Chain A
Amino acid sequence: MSNFKYTAGLNNVGSFQVSGVPFASSSINASGSSAVKIEFPYVVNWFIVQNNSDTTDTKVAFSENGLNGSNYFTVWNRNTAAHADRSSIYDPLHLKITEIWMTGSNNMEIIAGLTNIPVERVNNIAPSGSNWSGSVGVG
């Protein structure tokens, strides 16, 4: 008898139409000398990153190379912008990722909705074998 087990792939529409399995992580200290990596147990459907620092911006990327290069985005600290609700909390970003890398603030939070798609589905096609790392726009 075959033991092959079918699982949904990265382009399985239904996996992204249903609500996500919850994932939350808080009090993340990304202020150290080394970047912090958050690994998700399944491929992400969407995520939100929040910076609770009043003084320090945070760089967010999808690989260490991207963080050290120019493939990252900045989540401002709470005092940076007049619209605090927009400066430190992003709208949900709908990206099928498996890791987030951060450096900057000592008080970060992540909320994500996960699919049931195994992380290997992304890692098997990433040039480096991990979270799209090595591909254009990720670093």
Chain B
Amino acid sequence: MSNFKYTAGLNHVGSYQVSGAPFLTSSVDATQAVKVEFPYVTSWVVIQNNAHANTEHLKVGFSQITFGSMIGITIVPKTDPQFYHR
């Protein structure tokens, strides 16, 4: 008997139409580059910068190369809307 198990692929529309399983992480210290890994492919993410000083901008990318080459987005502490992306 085959043990092959079908799972949804990256283009499985239904997986993105249902609400997501929760994932939260807080107090992330990103003063040095930090990687946050998810246990499954994300449907959407929100990132919030809680730094007190308005000069502590947070830079966000999806790879180290992106990060190093200054391609990405910047989140200003509290005064900017959170980054929300599907």
Name A residues whose Cβ lies closer than 8 Å to a Cβ of B: 10-13, 15-17, 44-46, 59, 61-62, 66, 70-74, 76, 80-83, 86-87, 90-91, 93-97, 132, 135-139
Contact with A along B31-51 (1 / 0, CB 8 A): 000000011000110101010
Question: Nearest Cβ distance between residue A81 and chain B, in whole angstroms?
Answer: 4
Q: In the complex, are the beta carbons of A82 and B27 less than 8 A apart?
A: no
Binding site for A on B (CB under 8 A): 14-15, 17-28, 38-39, 43-44, 46, 48, 50, 78-82, 84
Assuming the contacts A11-B18, A95-B19, asked whether A81 and B25 have C-beta atoms less than 8 A apart, the reply is no
Q: List 23 A-B contacts (CB under 8 A).
A: A11-B18, A13-B18, A15-B18, A16-B17, A16-B18, A16-B19, A17-B17, A44-B19, A45-B19, A70-B25, A71-B25, A73-B26, A82-B79, A83-B81, A94-B44, A95-B19, A95-B21, A95-B22, A96-B19, A96-B21, A136-B23, A137-B25, A138-B23
Task: Find chain B residues with CB under 8 A from A132 CB.
Answer: 21-22
Find out whether the CB atom of B84 lies under 8 angstroms from the CB atom of A74.
no
User: Which residues of A have CB within 8 Å of B15?
Assistant: 11
B22 engages A137 (CB within 8 Å) = yes
Closest Cβ of chain A: how far from B27's Cβ, in Å?
A: 5
> Mostly helix, strand, loop or mixed at chain A's interface?
loop
